[in-house]
Amino acid sequence: MSGRRSRSRQSSGTSRISEDQINELIVNLQQLLPELRDSRRSDKVSAARVLQDTCNYIRNLHREVDGLSERLSELLANSDTAQAALIRSLLTQ
């Protein structure tokens, strides 16, 4: 057993996670990723790829949210309608 793994087990106490649980979490992540969701169960995808794709997907979602937020801010800044005022008040809550 590696030193890192033994230290991890010592520091985690009763909150250890089994290899089976990790594998199940990887499968769950794979099902959340559009690019990997449709791959057949028989198509083995490495855990490293699932984790890398998950990180990339989250980064892309953050970029998309930032872009949409900017667009919404621009629209609200250029609009003086009652709807814009309502949306502004909802966003500041």
DSSP 72-87: HHHHHHT--SHHHHHH
Q: Residues near 39 by Cβ (< 8 Å), separated by ≥ 6?
A: 30, 45
Per-residue pLDDT tens digits for 23-55: 999 999 999 998 888 766 657 889 999 999 999
Per-residue pLDDT tens digits for 4-15: 555 555 555 568
Rounded to whole angstroms, what are the CA distances from 92 to 21, 33, 61, 85, 87? 40, 31, 22, 11, 9
Contact 50, 30 (CB under 8 A): yes
What pLDDT does residue 93 have? 78
pTM of the model: 0.66
pLDDT at 1 over 60: no
Cβ burial of 57 (10 Å; 0-12, 13-18, 19+) is middle
What pLDDT does residue 49 have? 94
